[in-house]
Amino acid sequence: MNKIENSKVLVTGGAGFIGSNLVEVLLEQNNKVICLDNFMTGKRENIESFLDNSDFVLLEGDIRDLATCREACAGVDYVLHQAALGSVPRSIKDPMTSAEVNISGFVNMLFAAQEAKVKRFVYAASSSTYGDNEILPKVEDKIGKPLSPYGITKYVNELYAEIFARIYGIETVGLRYFNVFGRRQDPCGDYAAVIPKFVISMIKHESPTINGDGSYSRDFTYIENVVQANQLAALAAAPEALNTVYNIACGERITLNELYVELQNNLAKFDPEIANIHPNYGPERAGDIPHSLACIDKARKLLGYDPQYKLAEGLREATEWYYNNLK
């Protein structure tokens, strides 16, 4: 696998779940890493182990401030832009802040990166861009109308990246993540992702709530696959691989009911009592896409992306981490 080595890399949202995993791997590969985070959703404990590393710099600031973005981009080779205000429900409750962070902040970062003449701007796009398109599997050039303010913001990011590449000549790559999970993912709060939310409930011997009847399905993606994809996107050399977007997923799907059983079986190996817990069922969430399944052929062909972790393997590793760290 192509690895970023001996470079200066900016990871925005570097104290978040995905960002901190990127920071960790980049430091292991002899890079100098700048972490830009305002700790709105990022956590200091995610980066605590890096603070004594002389190759790590924490820049506490907000991407909504252009001066901060310029400071962060100075002398940088690659930008891995993960900073965003995630969650469909959060964007429905507060569309204004989602737009400020995800659109205005994104444009600030793009502008600062092109001014600093970075080699490549890789950014976190989202499967929510597919909106009401019901065709499975999802193919990059066939999208529908967004179903949430969050989905709109992530699609607008793609449009801005494309126009900046055209006008300013900056090289961009967007990665449409599909339901990423793994170590350091926050299980708490109203906007927690489904996998750690299920897990923390079962660890506490409580019944998780499944939204809807459990028939909705997702293409869940283990964090290691996302780390791989970011590095491949940063280093891709072929012109046709640049200034476009890619699905980053496993290319397989599982229903929420099936996911519950899989997580329960994994956790019951550590705590047999968990096998007796039954889920509750609640209303469907507004803005949720019923089914997601990614076609990853484009990423395979142009980036050399090959998911190292299939879903079952990723769930096993993640469940063990969650059990050991969330109790």
Q: Which residues are catalytic?
A: 150
Backbone angles phi, psi at 12, to 5 degrees: -80, 145
The first and second tokens of residue 4, run together, are 């970023």
Element (H, E) at 67: helix 66-73
Please give the full DSSP string across 10-45, using - where no structure is assigned.
EEETTTSHHHHHHHHHHHHTT-EEEEEE--SS--HH
| Phi, psi dihedral angles at 184 (to 5 degrees) | 75, 5
H or E element that contains 202: helix 194-203
DSSP-assigned letters across all residues of 240-257: GGSSEEEEES-S--EEHH
**Which residues make Cβ contacts (< 8 Å) with residue 97, sequence separation at least 6?**
85
Residue 113 has φ and ψ, to the nearest 5°, of: -65, -40
Q: What are phi and psi of 114, to 5 degrees?
A: -70, -35
